[in-house]
């Protein structure tokens, strides 16, 4: 487990955390509005990138 939970925002945003770390980080998100906002923004960016990648090239 990473001792600095704040460093796990990116991995959480792309669902790349092992289950036990994900559970601990989700608990952390409820208490840390900064991390919660960062994960929300990263998930929006990931969704935008996925949408852009899903379009066929010209």
Q: Which residues contact 26 (CB under 8 A, 6 or more apart)?
A: 12
Domain boundaries, the chain: 3-53
pTM: 0.78
pLDDT category at 53 given cuts 50, 70, 90 is confident
| Contact call for residues 48 and 54 (beta carbons, < 8 A) | no
The architecture (CATH level 2) of 3-53 comes to Orthogonal Bundle (1.10)
Indicate the SS3 state at residue 10: helix
Percent over 90 (pLDDT), the chain? 69
**How confident is the model over 30-38, as a mean pLDDT?**
94
């Amino acid at each position: 487990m990473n001792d600095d939970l704040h460093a796990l925002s990116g991995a959480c945003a792309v669902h790349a955390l092992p289950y036990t770390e994900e559970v601990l980080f989700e608990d952390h998100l409820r208490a840390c509005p900064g991390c919660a906002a960062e994960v929300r923004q990263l998930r929006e960016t990931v969704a935008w990138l996925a949408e852009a990648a899903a379009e066929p090239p010209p």
